[in-house]
Amino acid sequence: MTDVFHALADESRRLLLDRLFEKGGQSLTDLCEGFPMSRQGVAKHLGILEKANLVSVHWQGRTKLHYLNPVPLGDIVHRWVGKFEDARIAALTDFKDQVEDNQKPKQEKRRA
Amino acid sequence: MTDVFHALADESRRLLLDRLFEKGGQSLTDLCEGFPMSRQGVAKHLGILEKANLVSVHWQGRTKLHYLNPVPLGDIVHRWVGKFEDARIAALTDFKDQVEDNQKPKQEKRRA
DNA sequence: CCATTATGCAACCATATAGTTGCATGTCAA
DNA sequence: TTGACATGCAACTATATGGTTGCATAATGG
């Protein structure tokens, strides 16, 4: 989970995912094209994406083809989105309740 | 976007969100309770969550009440999940196509 | 007023991260 | 074999990060 979020928390890596989204099966050198960074820099980012399982690879001779792997995001993030959506619904009543409750001048701030 | 993912890429911060998910309107000291970290450590994490707009605050006298804010995740992450889901569908045909396509060039050492 | 409580600010430290360069390894084609 | 190409590995640097401690500020309550 940490790995996935961490991997996505970087513009360069999101850009690489964008590229793989447009066209899968690109090699390192393909992905380096027009990228403002050394080849090794890109390789490191791809390594992080692989480790997060957001990119899967397929060796073919001496070239390593990269593919976007949609599974972990679907699995892991979906849970969080669902959670936050529950919270969103709850927030409509909850937030107001809690603010009002906490606004009672003195203590008694613990909400029921 | 970077801020949101970065904020979520830390176990302590996700734990704080969990706590606010369970019960909104908690103060810094409330959230420090049982947390294996100094108050300032927690305050920093909350600052990052605020900056990412995942937590909104409401001052009440000298205490700062924290609430989970579901909006940015709903907006921003949803787009990514959607994108990855498109990719998931595409992957079924795309992946196979691209592998085969890339294999055309030369030798036959790899089977389809 | 004074003590207590809730928070903020700043400096500091250890480690992680993003990026670099240089060299090694392995594969392809002639 | 030889050279060119695709990638990996390792060392190094600057900065960001997660965490700490100490002190300052501001509101609360007796």
Q: For A58-82, how does the pLDDT look when each residue is reduced to its tens digit (9 = 90+)? A: 999 999 999 999 887 777 666 776 7
* Structural domain count, chain B: 2
Comparing B100 with B40, the larger pLDDT belongs to: B40
- Distance, CA of B30 to chain centre: 23
Please tell me the distance from the alpha carbon of residue B73 to that of residue A5, in angstroms, as a whole number. 12
CATH of the domain at A36: 1.10.10.10
Coil, strand or helix: which one is B64? Answer: strand
Do A59 and A6 share a structural domain?
yes
Predicted pLDDT of residue A74? 76
DSSP calls for A45-80: HHHHHHHTTSEEEEEETTEEEEEE--HHIIIIIHHH
- Best residue in B102, B106, B109 for a mutation probing chain A (most A CBs within 10 Å): B102
pLDDT in tens, B39-58: 999 999 999 999 999 999 99
A15 touches strand D (CB under 7 A): no
CB atoms inside a 10 Å sphere around CB A96: 10
- On whether the CB atoms of residues B43 and B13 are closer than 8 A, the answer is no
How distant is the Cα of B40 from the closest Cα of chain A, in angstroms?
22
How distant is the Cα of A38 from the closest Cα of chain B, in angstroms?
22
Predicted pLDDT of residue B96? 46
- Strand nucleotide closest to residue A39 (CA to C1'): D7
Q: What is the mean pLDDT of residues A29-39?
A: 96
How distant is the Cα of A74 from the closest Cα of chain B, in angstroms?
6
Do A101 and A58 share a structural domain?
no
Burial, A17: exposed, middle or buried (Cβ in 10 Å; 0-12, 13-18, 19+)?
buried
Q: Is the pLDDT of residue B64 over 50?
A: yes
At B13, is the pLDDT very low, low, confident or very high (cuts 50, 70, 90)? very high
At A71, give phi and psi (nearest 5°).
Answer: -65, -55
Do B28 and B48 share a structural domain?
yes
Comparing B4 with A75, the larger pLDDT belongs to: B4
Do A27 and A49 share a structural domain?
yes
Do A63 and A100 share a structural domain?
no
Please tell me the distance from the alpha carbon of residue A42 to that of residue A32, in angstroms, as a whole number. 7
Comparing A21 with B31, the larger pLDDT belongs to: B31
Do A90 and A53 share a structural domain?
no
- Which of B65, B71, B88 is the closest to A102 by Cβ? B65
Task: Protein contacts on strand C: list nucleotides below 7 Å from a Cβ.
Answer: 5-11, 17-22, 26-29
**Structural domain boundaries enclosing A87:** 70-105
A38 touches strand C (CB under 7 A): yes
At B100, is the pLDDT very low, low, confident or very high (cuts 50, 70, 90)? very low
A6 contacts chain B (CB < 8 A): yes
Q: Name the range with the highest mean pLDDT among A46-60, A74-88, B66-80.
A: A46-60
Do A90 and A64 share a structural domain?
no
Q: Give the CA angle between residues B101, B106, B111 to the nearest 5°.
A: 65
Comparing B104 with A92, the larger pLDDT belongs to: A92
Q: What is the CA radius of gyration of chain A?
A: 22
Please report, rounded to whole angstroms, the spatial distance between the CA atom of protein residue A27 and the C1' atom of nucleotide C4: 64
In a domain, A112, yes or no: no
